[in-house]
Amino acid sequence: MYTKRFPHCIGDGTHEVTRNLSLIQEFGAEQLVRPSLFPSSEDEKCSEQYRTDSYVCIAPTSVWFTKQMPKEKWLELIAKLPAKRIYLLGGPEDAAYCDELRTEAGSLEVINLAGQLSLLASAALMRDAEHNYVNDSGPMHLASAMNAPTTAFFCSTIPNFGFGPLAEGAVIREVNGLDCRPCGLHGHRSCPKGHFKCGLEIDVTP
């Protein structure tokens, strides 16, 4: 069955899901199928206490600096959101950053859950959120797999690489017209140009 090769072309707008499924298209694979996650009953129970009132989720971090929207832009977004509960999501390594964001936001409605929920419990929380705000990073794919309402901020990377959100009605925010963007496939530890316009000039209107 391993007798055919398919080109893995990044940058032509083809989604990675389609690229992978092309390997088995002769066996009836569809061209674009949204991935799915299945939180266990324990995952559902862990997130249940937070899924009470209307809320939004923000996953503000990324492994790569240039794929993470700057803190001031997240604060700007939080200030523009209607008065409602905001959960900050991430892993244990993101807890300190999220706590800084919570403190600087100065609102009791901003709650740091980074490192407190499993990946699938976070996915369940995102599924029932009124909206989810994410970078081009792992949480965006969680939201896609749960078909959760999503706004994805693309800083140094671009959706045409093939890793954009797949949730129905997902919104992509990016700064177009920069001759330095994209500056790499996976992002950088710092902006190669030193100005980080792709992050600092992004529109964060909810």
Q: What is the CATH number of the domain that holds 182?
A: 3.40.50.2000
Structural domain includes residue 30:
no
Of the pLDDT bands very low, low, confident and very high (cuts 50, 70, 90), residue 3 is: confident
How far lies 26's CA from each of 19, 51, 83, 154, in Å? 13, 42, 51, 34
pLDDT exceeds 80 at position 168? yes
Model's pTM, two decimal places? 0.94
Alpha helices in 30-149 (DSSP H): 41-48, 71-80, 95-105, 119-127, 138-145
Strand order in the sheet with 85-88: 110-112, 85-88, 55-59, 131-135, 150-154, 171-174
Structural domain includes residue 11:
no
pLDDT exceeds 80 at position 84? yes
Of the pLDDT bands very low, low, confident and very high (cuts 50, 70, 90), residue 1 is: low
Model confidence pLDDT, tens digit, residues 21-34? 888 888 888 778 89
Report the number of distinct structural domains present in the chain. Answer: 1
Structural domain includes residue 118:
yes
Structural domain includes residue 49:
yes
Structural domain includes residue 10:
no
pLDDT exceeds 70 at position 128? yes
Q: Domain residues for 153?
A: 39-200
Residue 25 has a pLDDT of 84
Structural domain includes residue 191:
yes
1-14 per-residue burial string, b: 16 or more CB within 10 A, e: under 16: eeeeeeeeeeeeeb
Structural domain includes residue 89:
yes
Using H for helix, E for strand and C for coil, what is the string for 44-70?
Answer: HHHHHCCCCCCEEEEECCCCCHHHCCC
Average pLDDT over residues 124-150: 97
Structural domain includes residue 187:
yes
